[in-house]
Chain A
């Protein structure tokens, strides 16, 4: 086994860390507080080629492997989880789906500007009545001449308020069951597409989330992504990559929680000595470091499997499940280590704890991950 990163991956990690220290850390608390999408930061990310890392250069990306993109998401999330997530979901789900399933024409029209960071992507699957139960989706797409007419309401759409390109799941033949859902590329300007208000959330606040409402939204046949009726497996394939991205986001959160906890516990004097010398604190930090390491190996392994073009669905679910629950567990501990200071706005651990919670919910809840994992191992 070889646990060594390539020299390029090590350099890219250092570069993205430097980028974060200069450009992300200084604004992370402010964009969280104001639920603001930092367009100026995303311009810099696009200029540096950070928005389409795993996409081939011929389609506007950087042409790196998936593991490299995971390293970048991890480092971005260490400074700002919202930023890491936005980059991750854009590249590992939206760009990747068009790369995997799009026609050459679709790649030229939609993928290139997305991979270059000129247009953000949004994934429209979840609906008010359809979360983990994707079969409960009610949005439909009816063929009318050379167009599909999409109607329905999507919710919790990440990047919704700022996206330029939407990947939308809708029934083309509900009676066909799992083979009746199809996927469409819908540009934001399409008449009949309306973006709802940005939801104010507990955490991940600068990531923009909204409803997307489709009312007689007409897209040409050419905007069908993949084959008609192939939507569900495509969504699942999108989720697999996306889950590794979420796991990377969790590693970033965990690393930040560990960094903050080590720093504070060495500085904070109680009873005449730093609190890090108390076994109660030292053991919390030991557990944090250990579970961070375990989460890292699960995540890198899942990313590596994807790069090797080997099955990685189970490993992606395992990485996401473990890393997200570890992130939640240990950000709570990090706040505990910081005491009252950690409970106040301005303490990074307070933001980390709020940001961690969503990772147990989106891209499939922890319960959904257990369904995927148990479904695999009980076969």
Chain B
């Protein structure tokens, strides 16, 4: 009798500021005083992909996050989206972790707590900083293959086949499992949890891990000096399409210092 492949798929997510609540001060600074939080947009795709894998093949979908202790709502959100259990690594100092630190913690949790898994899915980048670092760094720390920019994938026993969207087309890549993929929003449309899904989420198992239970992680090396909103200025200059006008257009860009 053949053994059925029932994978364990891990979805990592970040609980980020919901940009709809960020206000702009007259000075151009961002006002975060009344913000709410949400699961990052691409991370919702990662969770949905993990849950769809479970629904298609059986097995288990696990949500993992590293965040502030207040992110319990985010954990319930991830569970309401169909994941079976969650690992919640929380500490009040985890509000501004660097990608390398987040990857370190996630790797520790995957290696020592979850142990058996077939696939890890991360969003291509977080909704707030979009550094695109955590996925590849996590794969590196775990010593597993990493495929980024994934718009479609399938898994069978021992093997992953993933479509990467690259600039000029689609690249199809295979890799042995366990592996890690970082997914694009094109991969799926995340479901909207129903009322029952949300109400049942709190009853699903959540493993809470504190900072003290982890080995010491490295110091952050990056420092955010400031964040300001980008401004769009329109000078309402009109250009034609003939050679003379194009030259005038380039001249105008040079004059403003946009091109050298």
Q: Is the CB of A11 within 8 A of B73?
A: yes
In the complex, are the beta carbons of B195 and A53 less than 8 A apart?
yes
The interface residues of chain A lying within 8 Å CB-to-CB of B77 are: 11
Q: Is A158 an interface residue (CB 8 A)?
A: no
- Report the 3 A-B pairs with minimum CB-CB distance, sorted nearest first: A62-B195, A49-B194, A48-B194
Does B192 lie within 8 Å of A8, measured CB to CB? Answer: no
User: 18 more A-B contacts (CB under 8 A) besides A7-B72, A49-B196?
Assistant: A7-B73, A10-B36, A10-B73, A11-B77, A11-B193, A11-B201, A12-B195, A15-B192, A15-B198, A18-B192, A19-B192, A47-B194, A48-B192, A48-B195, A49-B194, A49-B195, A49-B197, A50-B194
A-B contact pairs, 13 of them (CB 8 A): A7-B76, A8-B198, A10-B36, A11-B76, A15-B198, A18-B192, A19-B192, A53-B195, A57-B196, A62-B195, A62-B199, A63-B199, A68-B195
Known: A62-B199, A63-B199, A64-B199. A11 touches B80 (CB 8 A): yes
- Check if A14 is an interface residue, CB within 8 A of chain B: yes
B202 on interface, CB distance cutoff 8 Å: yes
Interface residues of A in 1-54 (CB under 8 A from B): 7-8, 10-12, 14-15, 18-19, 22, 47-50, 53
Confirm or deny: B38 has a beta carbon within 8 angstroms of a beta carbon on chain A: yes
Whole-angstrom distance between the Cβ of A155 and the nearest chain B Cβ: 33
Q: Chain B residues near A48 (CB, 8 Å)? A: 192, 194-195
Q: Are B195 and A50 in contact (CB under 8 A)?
A: yes
Q: How far is the CB of A262 from chain B (nearest CB, A)?
A: 13
Docked Cα-Cα span, A7 to B78, in Å, equals 13
Report whether over half of chain B's contact residues are helix, strand or loop; otherwise say mixed: helix
Within 8 Å of chain B (Cβ to Cβ): is A72? yes
CB neighbours of B196 from chain A (8 A): 49, 57, 62-63
Closest Cβ neighbor of B75 among chain A residues: A7
Name the residue of chain A whose CB is nearest to the CB of B197.
A49
Residue in B38, B73, B198 whose Cβ sees the most chain A Cβ within 10 Å: B198
Q: Which residues of B contact A18 (CB under 8 A)?
A: 192
Q: Mark A61-88, 1 if CB is under 8 A from B, else 0.
A: 0111000100010000000000000000
Shortest C-beta distance, B250 to chain A (Å), equals 34
**Contact present for A72 and B195 (CB under 8 Å):** yes
Residues of chain A lying within 8 A (CB to CB) of residue B72? 7
CB distance A8 to B76 under 8 Å? Answer: yes
| A19 partner residues in chain B, CB cutoff 8 A | 192
Give the shortest distance, in Å, between A71 (CB) and chain B (any CB).
Answer: 10
Question: Which of B36, B193, B202 has the largest count of A CB atoms less than 10 A from its CB?
Answer: B193
For window 281-298 of chain A, which residues contact chain B by CB distance below 8 Å? none
B202 to chain A, nearest CB (A): 7
**Shortest beta-carbon distance from B252 to chain A in Å:** 27
Contacts of A64 in B (CB 8 A): 195, 199
Contact between B73 and A62 (Cβ–Cβ < 8 Å)? no
Contact check, B38 vs A14: say whether CB atoms are below 8 A apart: yes
In the complex, what distance in Å separates the CA atom of A72 from the CA atom of B73?
A: 18
- Interface 1/0s, chain A 126-158, versus B by CB < 8 A? 000000000000000000000000000000000
B209, chain A: closest CB distance, angstroms: 20
A22 CA to B197 CA, complexed, in Å: 19
CA distance A49 to B199 in the complex (A): 11
Specify which chain B residues have a CB less than 8 angstroms from the CB of A57 in the assembled complex: 196
Complex Cα distance A64/B195, Å?
8
Name the distance in Å between B86's Cβ and chain A's nearest Cβ: 14
> Which residues does chain A contribute within 8 Å of B198, judged by CB atoms?
8, 11-12, 15
Give the one of A8, A12, A22, A72 with max B CB within 10 A: A8
Return the chain B residue nearest A53 by Cβ. Answer: B195
- Complex: how many Å from CA A8 to CA B38? 13
Residue of B nearest to A47 (CB): B194
| Residue of B36, B73, B194, B196 ringed by the most chain A CB atoms within 10 A | B194
Interface string of B190-219 (1 = CB under 8 A from A): 001111111101100000000000000000
Contact check, B76 vs A62: say whether CB atoms are below 8 A apart: no
Tell me how far the C-beta of A12 lies from the nearest C-beta in chain B, rounded to whole angstroms.
5
A150 to B: closest C-beta gap in Å: 35
List of A residues within 8 angstroms of B76 by Cβ: 7-8, 11
Complex CA–CA separation, A51 to B245 (angstroms): 61
**Closest residue of chain B to A10, judged by CB?**
B73
How distant is the Cα of A47 from the Cα of B73 in the complex, in angstroms? Answer: 24
Provide the bound-state CA to CA distance between A15 and B192, in Å.
6
Chain B 167-198, CB within 8 Å of chain A: the 1/0 string? 00000000000000000000000001111111
Cβ–Cβ < 8 Å partners of A50 in chain B: 194-195
Which B residues from 77 to 100 make CB contacts under 8 A with A? 77, 80
Contacts of B195 in A (CB 8 A): 12, 48-50, 53, 62, 64, 68, 72
Rounded to whole angstroms, the CA-CA distance of A11 and B77 in the bound complex is 7
Bound complex: CA of A15 vs CA of B194, how far in Å?
Answer: 8
Chain B residues with CB below 8 A from A63, complex form? 196, 199
Nearest CB in chain B: distance from A339 CB, A: 26
Task: Enumerate chain B residues within 8 angstroms of A14, measured Cβ to Cβ.
Answer: 38
- A235 to nearest B CB, angstroms? 28
